[in-house]
Structure 1
């Protein structure tokens, strides 16, 4: 590994600690959003089971206030921090009217322990009126938008039934950055029909974009999804990562990431009750970070 590759990895925890002097913990919230891809005549993304990624307290039947304080009490005890970000994680966090967003954010920001807002959304759900609201709040508090990009290959996006294309991703990033809003990108590595060169192509596409944070994780097959049906009927279509092959692809991709980009996540874990495959017993986010840090610093 060359000297220029040393210390490449920068993690989001360092960004937030520098900003606030301590760990900033996101409190995931379910504000009752839905998803245009599920509301349409399609069946939604082939891999999606949103419940698998939702904390125990993210129940829409509970009020937003109850969810917020449940998350606050849980994470404050666990991490001993006083800095929290409201994380609109479930489904598409901008799939509503501008007025509704304004009401939600005002409701959350009245609590002193909330230092900012993080919104998970789709690249095709950021119309000008919504971005205008986000821009106004970003001028008053910390605000970040996480875009579910997943892939830059339109054939892959189409098979995954994402309902958007790669141009939508680029336009969304550009619009948010013009509004001076931090952008996080989420990529799902290993989707069906990715080309052999997809890691290199992904790196080249990322290099064209102005974004600040990156989340990565490997494809997982979850119960109750269209992908689970495809995998059972045609397993050759779904090429699952092993820990070794995933690490190998990360070692190719991460050197292509701009040095000013913060890595927020490298893998994702779901409860065993939801997971069909692959089963990576024992590998944690911290283990993977340590392994990659050692690799890039050798």
Structure 2
């Protein structure tokens, strides 16, 4: 008896991003991070100050990303770094740090189009917030996406407004729904970014989140475990009230991810399950697992339980 081919067209038990991307592009594609010097509306006072309670941008910014380097220089340094590993490769410019749509449209066009000038850049991935896009910007990105690959990655983080307020996000879940709907109806690729394990959220609520996300026009999904980073408000809150936090062990989180996947719409492409902060910036949890090791454990657990993404989706 052969293996099942699932609705997403292959034998893996979830709709994984690497397979999708290999089918979309004819060769290996790598994101190259760019720091264009943005801030956030919950940092500069327009929505709040201090930023999100969990945020320390140093945890995911490569060393070549610094504001002394132009967009062009950062793209070139990133390509140079990855080109040493693989001979044949194309690249996407990943505007990653802070809110990368938080500027006048004319300025955004200049930055995005500077990145696209590089002959090896085939598109853009733009990380932002759901309350930092508008119709004019999305119309521009819709036109751009007819020529190159464009992905807008929205930090939703939670589906619960009480959580969004407690972590100082400065937007509501209704704004997240609007942003996903507006990108989808224009044919722009979107990605929802969620954190599992934020203070005050129960396991049942996290599984309800999977149901909520499945009702939305989400193309890609990024999950990651709550991590407590140094030099954040969350570090202080954890030190003062550790009882308010549920820090999953790796095994507990694997089971949570599998339960989440069972409820998730089978058409949603899952880009990742965990995030890895540099160990010297991480307070907890310290699992010591690389991304590929965690993926292997999730796939093993899916097989052990003979289950798959969307098995319980209704």
Fold shared, TM-score > 0.5 on shorter chain: yes
Q: What residue is the counterpart of 1:39 in the other structure?
A: 44
Aligned partners of 2:233, 2:124: CA distance in 1, in Å? Answer: 32
Counterpart mapping for 1:1-298 below 5 A = 7-40=12-45, 41-281=48-288, 283-297=289-303, 298=306
Q: Would you say how many aligned residue pairs link Structure 1 and Structure 2?
A: 295
Q: Deviations over 1:259-295 (max 9, x none)?
A: 22221111111111211111112x1211121122223
CA contact (8 A) 1:242 1:280 kept: yes
State the distance in 1 between where 2:69 and 2:93 align: 16
Seen in structure 2, the aligned counterparts of structure 1 residues 81 and 256 have a Cα distance that, compared at 3 Å, is: farther
Q: What's the secondary structure of 1:42's corresponding residue? A: coil
C-alpha deviation, 1:4, in angstroms:
9.4
Deviates further, 72-81 or 41-50: 72-81
Secondary structure of the equivalent of 1:84?
A: strand
Query: What is the distance in 1 between the residues matched to 2:302 and 2:278?
Result: 31
Equivalents in 2 of 1:23, 1:86: separation in Å?
14
Question: 1:172 and 1:227 mapped to 2: Cα distance?
Answer: 27
CA 1:86–1:4: 2 relative to 1, 3 Å:
closer
Unaligned runs of 5+ in 1: none
